[in-house]
Structure 1
Amino acid sequence: MPDIPTDAQQACFEAGIKFGSLYHQFAGTPVSPASTGSLETAMAEAIENQPHCESVSVDILDDRVADAIDHEEGYAELTGSLMEVEMRIDYEGTTVRTRMAMADGYPRMRLVAVEA
């Protein structure tokens, strides 16, 4: 008989779903320093609609966006290297806190804490 996931395991799974959705839904979106604020809000509000998602904080780093613009059209494509994200997931009394930030040249999505 298979083991039934614990609430903590299920909460971690839910966090993974939210990160996958956020990253793959918005990667490649055109972004400029003038549009980072509205895109941050849209991303956070879209992910917060999902079950068990209590909060999402998206910080698109204007200086990195400006540095990534390499043509005269004035925008870059959104990638993990241009943003930092934090989420809080609550599942059946277990809270999972997560963070995405660059580490060793790669946008790492990590568990910060699991609190029962």
Structure 2
Amino acid sequence: LARLGDRLERSSTLERVPFRDFGRERRTDDAYLLGGVFFALLYAQMGEAAFDAAYGGLWRARGAVGVSTDDLVRAFVERDPSVAPLFDTWFETPRWTKQVRAATRFADLPGARP
């Protein structure tokens, strides 16, 4: 989380570009860093069994042909609709930046479990 916060301080692009558009905006390094935090938060919100079921189902259904961002969102939200706001905040908008700036540790993020 500290590395992501540091990256926010150095890049104003992160304040404007939704995670969904990082590839198009050539923010690959940022995508890996943000992705790690996002998936840890998604796992914390869903729990191990639901997360594994969603990810496993996605892999079985799309692993051989490729997974789009829409496929990913759909698989997790269909498994657990309560994570739809998380995807909205972290994938569709740059609102996640405010949450990261306000947090000093992972457990401070909305939805994280210590």
Instruction: Tell me which protein shows more strand as a share of its residues.
Output: 1
Decide: shared fold, TM above 0.5: no
Instruction: Tell me which protein shows more helix as a share of its residues.
Output: 2
Q: TM-score range by the shorter chain?
A: under 0.3
| CA radius of gyration, larger in | 1
TM-score by length of 1: 0.27
Which fold has the larger relative contact order, with Cα–Cα distance below 8 Å and residues 6 or more apart in sequence? Answer: 2
